[in-house]
Structure 1
Amino acid sequence: MKKNNKVLRDPVCGKKINKNKAYAKETYGKKEYYLCCSLCQSTFLKEPEKFIN
């Protein structure tokens, strides 16, 4: 089975992160967002609209 090693960008801090190693995954609307740490996750959850574009 092949792992998904896709590299994504944390929408809050802009850091490149591996999808499989992300600290958290949040869904907003119909899209998934991957976050690198608890601080980025809490920041995203407070104002997701600020980070989705």
Structure 2
Amino acid sequence: MAILQERAAELPARAARCADLVHAEIYGSIGPGTRAWARSRPQVTVYPDFPPESAAT
């Protein structure tokens, strides 16, 4: 799972070349590369896990 998440970290970086990131939320366990990327952007919030479905209603 961590390898997939680290590879996915490239996608927001690529999108940043085309658009401004307004807000992003990352849920679950992330690797150090993604964590460093999130820390360098104040518009990104990292949460430990998905909120329970009951919170969405």
Normalised by the size of structure 2, how large is the TM-score?
0.26
Which structure shows the higher helix fraction? 2
Normalised by the size of structure 1, how large is the TM-score?
0.28
* Structure number, greater radius of gyration: 2
The structure whose RCO (Cα within 8 Å, separation 6+) is larger is 2
